[in-house]
Structure formats: structure tokens, C-alpha cells
Amino acid sequence: MSTPKRLVVAIDGPAGSGKSTAARRLAQRLGYTMLDTGAIYRAVALIARERGVSWDDEAGLAGVAGGLEVRFAFEGDVNRVFLGAREVSAEIRTPDMNEGASRVSRHPAVRAALLDLQRRLAAAGGVVAEGRDVGSVVFPRAEAKFFLSASPEVRARRRFDELRAAGHEVAFAEVLQDQVERDRRDSTRATAPLCQAEDALEIDSSALGPDEVVARMEAIVRRHCRGE
Ligand code: DC
């Protein structure tokens, strides 16, 4: 029996579409690594902060991005993020780094500097890449591409539940309005707006649980692996 081909799978979608959970579970089911591209933008923001490079300094940030050595490794359910030998999994997930990642990801020179790194990390195949532009820009030739969507109400509900669970007193209407505003910004910004690759299969997760989403993706990827 021949060894199954190890593919590059690209999953894009807006915040709250469930793409991180889907990407993680799919990677684990396939025995692939998960390339969390958002974590890479977060790492650029973290290192820039430590080196005193402003999040508005495009050339300085491109220098940081070009020298980044990122590695991902699953430990149980957690996709741990390393810069060289240093683990930064927790440090890149603070509110400050949410803001930093959003700021640094707007610069074209930063995005360009990270292309090579992302492609190197996927060069051997066996990777589920997750982000905003992995199917359209980073891996246009990925063998399987998905675009995960969900209605603004459903995504706002997920965010609302998360915030409430973390002890934040928020009103649903406010979260929904933020969501609609963020979607508008993300899809109209000049640099790398969120967009669906033409050949990506859209999965609407509004009425699907994570298991159903992953099952659909897995069936399609396994068909590709068999060359069907
Ligand atoms: O998915 P995330 O929240 O970890 O992403 C962090 C930031 O990086 C977010 O502001 C969007 C941006 N990002 C991007 O511009 N392109 C990607 N491929 C992934 C993330």
C-alpha cells in the first residue's frame, strides 16, 4: 500500500467562524501540524515590543518578521508556539498582542516578509494552515481549501458567550454591532482584506457543530489524499 499523500490544507474565515477549532481538530485527526498564521503576526508584535520597534514602523517590523524562527508543536489539545527554544504561547494571547497583531498585519512589507516563513513551514506538506489569506495568497496551490463562514448573529453569540464565560458584563447588541463593524473593516481594508479564494469550498457553520464541520473537511481531504 502506498503512503497517503500529505497535503497542504488551507482554512480561512472571519473571527468567530470556528476556524481555529476546526483547524486544530482536523490537523489532529489527520496527524498533521497546524500552522496558525495569526500566531505568527502576534509573535512579530511581541518581538517588536521587546526590541522597542514601533507597531507603526513598517521597515523595522519587516526586519523583525524576516528574522523570525517560528515552530508549532501539539501538546494534547494545545498548539504550542515557539520562537527558537522559547515558548511564547501565552505571551502572544494577551489583549495587548491582539491589538499589536492587528496593527502589524496591516503593513504590506510585514506580510511580504512572512510569506517565505509560512511557505517554508508547509514545504513538506502535512499541514493545516489557518488564517485570513492562506488559501488566496499564501498557498494558492493548496490541495484543499475551505472558507468557514457563519452569520454575524451566530459569530457574535459565540463571542458573547466567551466574554460572559470570562466574567465580562457585556450586552449582546453591543457585541453584535462590534462584529458587524469589524467585518466591514476586515473586508474593505486596503492590505490583504479577508477574501474567499475562488476555489475554496465554503462551509457555513451557523447550524453545524464543530464535529460536523471537521467531519466534512476530513472526508474531502481524505478523498484528495487518495487522488480522487
Ligand atoms: O487569528 P488571530 O486573532 O490570532 O489573528 C491575529 C491578527 O492577525 C488579526 O488581527 C488578523 C491578523 N491576521 C492576518 O492579517 N492574516 C492572517 N493570515 C492571520 C491573521
Whole-number Å distance between alpha carbons of 13 and 206: 13
Residue 225, classified by CB atoms within 10 Å of its CB into exposed (0-12), middle (13-18) or buried (19+), is middle
Whole-number Å distance between alpha carbons of 87 and 176: 34
Whole-number Å distance between alpha carbons of 214 and 2: 25
State the average pLDDT for the chain.
Answer: 92
Confidence (pTM): 0.92
Q: Looking at ligand 1, which residue's alpha carbon is closest to its atom 13?
A: 38
Using the predicted structure, report yes or no on whether residue 158 has a pLDDT greater than 60.
Answer: yes
127, 9 contact by CB (below 8 A): yes
Q: Say how many Å lie between the CA of residue 38 and the centre of ligand 1.
A: 4
Instruction: Report domain extents, the chain.
Output: 8-225
β-strand pairing of 8-12 with 144-149 = parallel
The number of helix segments (H) and strand segments (E) in the chain equals: 8, 8
Q: Looking at ligand 1, which residue's alpha carbon is closest to its atom 1?
A: 38
Which CATH architecture is the domain 8-225 placed in? 3-Layer(aba) Sandwich (3.40)
Q: What is the pLDDT of residues 2-39, one digit of tens each?
A: 567 899 999 999 888 999 999 999 999 999 999 999 99
